Amino acid sequence: MSDTIKVSEMEEVIMDALEEYKDKAEDVVAVTLPLVGKETVDTLKATSPKRKGSYARSWTYTMRKSRGSKKNNDLVVHNKKYYRIVHLLENEHAKRGGGRYYPDQASHGSTVHVKPAQDKAEKTAIERIKDKLGRIEV
C-alpha cells in the first residue's frame, strides 16, 4: 500500500482496515472466552454448596455463535444437571411449609456463588480482550 491515498479510494481503504480489525477482534474473543469459561467453571465448582458434591461438579460452559458472526463468541456458563435449583440456591425463596430461605443462612446451606463468579468472569474477559486488542496492528 502506498503512503498516499486518493480521496475517491479513502472509503474503500477505511472499510478494508475496519473489516480486518473486526476479523482479528473476533479471533481474540474466540480464543479468550473459552479460557475465561474454564476459569469460571473452576471457580463455581470450588464455591458452590456441597452436600454430596454432584451440584458443584456439574458446572460447565458452552460457546455459541452470536448473530452476524461466523465464530463462536458467546460464552454461556451453566449447571448441566441441576439447572433447576441454581436460582433457589442463589436467591431467597419461599419454603414449602411457610417462611423464607435466605442465601447465606446457616440452616439452609445455600450461598451466593454465581453472582461473584459472573462479575469476576466479566471483568477478566474485558481486561484480557482489551489487552490483546491493544496489541493488534492493522
- Amino acid 106: pLDDT: 53
Strand residue runs (E) in 1-138: 59-65, 72-79, 93-94, 100-101
Q: Which long-range contacts (CB under 8 A, 24 or more apart) does 14-23 make?
A: 17/138, 20/138, 21/136, 21/138
Weakest-pLDDT range from 16-25, 43-52, 83-92: 83-92
Q: Give per-residue pLDDT as tens, 64-121.
A: 887 777 777 789 999 999 988 888 888 877 888 888 877 766 555 567 889 999 999 9
Mean pLDDT throughout 7-30? 89
Q: At what angle do helices 114-134 and 10-47 cross, to 10 degrees?
A: 150
- Amino acid 89: pLDDT: 81
